[in-house]
Structure 1
Amino acid sequence: MKRIILGIGLLAFGLTLAACGTSDQDTTKSEGKIQAVATFYPMYEFTKEVLGDAGEVKLLIPAGTEPHDYEPSAKDIATISDADVFVYNSESFETWVENIEDNLSDKNLVIEAADEIELLDLETTSEDDHDELEEAEDHDHEGKDPHVWTDPVMVKAQVAEIAKELSERYPDQKATFEKNAANYTKKLDALDQSYQEAFVNASNKTFLVQHAAFGYLAHQYGLTQESIAGISPDQEPTPARLAELKHYAEDHQVKVIYFEENANSKVAETLAKETGIELMVLNPLESLTKEQMKEGETYITVMEENLTALKASIK
């Protein structure tokens, strides 16, 4: 049904675009700068870091919005079409991208940041997860985990991909893109080193989260992620799954249950209350709030906060 609605939206978009001519956004573009649109916050920051002063980046999915269920409006598609560069994570996350590609022209450079990354398979630890895996396959996730950005090593690959694609399209600015990417990669290297040092000698490497967004981070640093919900934060576990998790927490001496500020934490709170376990925030970085962005928080600072939080569980 979503695709039918989207198809109607695309038709309306085409008619609207033909009638509108130059939009207000065109008049506010900085002369000579590359205009980019990135889907959600991590893609926004990575693109901004690589472009530097050579371009301007617009965040497509508004701050504080859950990107899992996002579908672009006709206005959003117009914004993408009007840009020089469009950056997204992968078709396993932004499943709607393939539906709008026919509306883009040769002038639109489309970059799939995770294009060179082999995505992990979704893990199934319960009947709930099995059901969601089937649902993910039905919605073109193809049973793959798209949350690559929670692992700073994978982010380095994404930054490299963005820099490569920009350099091929704008070869006269290749040196700038490569320098900017190298500078940001140094920050990611330092972040990676901090995570390695924190967990290399840990005896307990299990952590319990609200939804399964940290599979790549767990895989990278030899940790075990157990989730209340599956790949989507909106999935609610069955009573049987909650009972299973309660026993899991007891058997593994879980000290912390991690929840998300931008998602419904009711189930995590219920489980914490029943087990007497502490609640802490672990941010999957699918979105930052306007307040966080205004206060200067970034992918790096939030990942540092996540590391501090994880240390409460993994010792």
Structure 2
Amino acid sequence: MKNINKILISLLSLSTLAACSADTPGNGEAAGTKETTDVTETGDLNSNEEEKLSVVTTFYPVYEFTKRVAGDSAEVELMISGGTDVHHYEPSAQDIALINDADMFVFSSHEMETWVESMLASLDNEDIIVVEQTEAIDLMESLAADTHEDEEDDHGHEEDETDVHNLDPHVWLDPVLVKDQVETMREAFSAVDPEGSDDYTQRAEEFQSELQELNERYEAAFSNATQRRFVTQHEAFGYLARRYDLIQMAVGGISTEVEVSPSRIAEINHLVEDYDIPVIYYQEGANSAIAETVANETGTEIAELYSLELLPEDLQDNEQGYIEAMTRNLEALEKSIQ
């Protein structure tokens, strides 16, 4: 894949083309393969209301953070849906065609969408603008590597190295870091469409204000808690735990594909009993068997948390999104954090 720093090069190149005269040879083509986009003729993607910036996003949080900034100024499409595992996704020929026709492709991180580099290398669209939403964020280390080493010993064989994540990609579960991702999108859209910069800024600031309010609700809920540990089936909530000074105890690692060893379950059982943990959490849409096993062996309850790799159907049906889902997570966590 072209180095992600090509984002800046692509944006600067596109802006330079936008400033050129319409008489410049080749100035009738826009970024990628589209021939009718107005950006190269006027610098204003929205001067023709029927032609908007075409943006393809990978999975739900990337889509929402992009859409909230883009508003009606771009056509934003979601590539992965329906409960597909983002870590092990394999882009189809239809996906490749969609991205080849797009002006911008947005993904979360190379640690999350491990297949992005090889996919981008296969594209014909050399002018596409590639945006990594977490580019400005340092990903935190994961506990998964240690977990895999233990399971390697138990099973007597090595796990597929593609399942081992040394860094935790679940950045979107920290509302404060989401504000940074929103800022990345504001900068990207404003660079491509300078005349729409004020609109992108307004939408970004409105969403960032909502995120700050959400952050303050979390802070208030957990500020005086003395029991700050919670047990999850999947190691997805490390950023949330770090933000609010909580301790996540995960039965499994980052990947949902790796089998959890009996010794790990026994270890978690002891921790649940030692710290008097009342609830075991599993992720929406996931098999809850491991959480149920721990709950049955320790006499605790199970509850659902949203890892938000996809948006739950009932929230979709009610036209709700990230803020509402994270509010539900807060309410669920209050059962354990007391």
Q: Comparing 230-239 with 146-155, which one deviates more in the overlay?
A: 230-239
Deviation at 1:194, TM superposition (A): 0.5
Greater mean deviation of Cα atoms: 305-314 or 30-39? 30-39
Greater shift, 213-222 or 138-147, is seen at 138-147
Instruction: Verify the 8 A CA contact 2:69 2:182 in the aligned structure 1.
Output: yes
Residue among 188, 194, 216 paired with 1:171: 194
Distance 1:40 1:91 in 2: 13
Matches within 5 A, 1:128-143: 128=148, 138-139=161-162, 143=166
Shift of the 104–295 alpha-carbon distance from structure 1 to 2, 3 Å rule, reads: farther
| Aligned residues of 1:95 and 1:140 also touching (Cα < 8 A) | no
| Uncovered stretches (5+) of structure 1, i.e. residues with no partner | 1-20, 23-29
Does 1:113 find its partner at 2:136? no
Of residues 103, 107, 115, the one that matches 1:84 is 103
Structure 1 position 64 matched with structure 2 position 87: no
CA–CA distance in 1 between the matches of 2:101 and 2:55? Answer: 9
Instruction: Give the match for residue 279 of structure 2.
Output: 256
Q: In structure 2, what is the Cα distance between the partners aligned to 1:291 and 1:195?
A: 23
Which of 218, 223, 226 is the aligned partner of 2:241? 218
Match status 1:266 vs 2:289: yes
Q: Distance in 2 between matches of 1:164 and 1:176?
A: 12
User: Which residue is 2:55 aligned to?
Assistant: 36
What's the offset of the Cα at 1:135?
5.8
Query: 2:83 touches 2:310 (CA, 8 Å); kept in 1?
Result: yes
**Partner SS for 1:207:** strand
Q: Which amino acid aligns with 1:57?
A: V
CA drift at 1:124? 5.2
2:144, 2:165 within 8 Å by CA — same for their partners in 1? no
Change (3 A) 1:130 1:153: farther
Shift of residue 236, structure 1, vs aligned partner: 2.5
Matched, 1:245 2:265: no
Preserved CA contact (<8 Å) 1:167 1:173: yes
Q: Normalising by the residue count of structure 1, what TM-score does the alignment of the two structures yield?
A: 0.85
- TM-score w.r.t. the length of structure 2 is 0.79
Once the two structures are superposed, residues 124-147 of structure 1 have per-residue CA deviations (whole angstroms, 9 ceiling, x without a partner) of 595446568x968x4397611111
Amino acid at match of 2:260: P
Q: Give, as a single letter, the amino acid of the residue that structure 2 aligns with 1:92.
A: E
Flag the structure with higher helix content.
1
1:57/1:247 CA distance change after superposition, 3 Å: same
Match of 1:153 in 2: 176
Tell me the residue number matched to 1:7.
none
Cross-structure match for 2:301? 278
Cα deviation per residue 1:205-256 (whole Å; 9 max; x = unaligned)?
Answer: 1000110000011111100001111001233311111111110100011000
Structure showing greater radius of gyration is 2
Identify the match of residue 226 of structure 2 among 195, 203, 212.
203
| Amino acid across the alignment from 2:297 | E
Identify the residue that residue 18 of structure 1 maps to in structure 2. none
User: Which residue of the partner structure matches residue 181 of structure 1?
Assistant: 204
- Secondary structure of the residue that 2:185 maps to in structure 1? helix
| Residue identity in the other structure for 2:198 | A
Is the aligned partner of 1:234 residue 2:253? no
The code of the aligned residue for 1:184 comes to F
Q: Percent of aligned positions with the same letter in both sequences? A: 43
| Whole-angstrom CA distance in 1 between matches of 2:126 and 2:245 | 43
| 1:294 Cα offset (Å) | 2.3
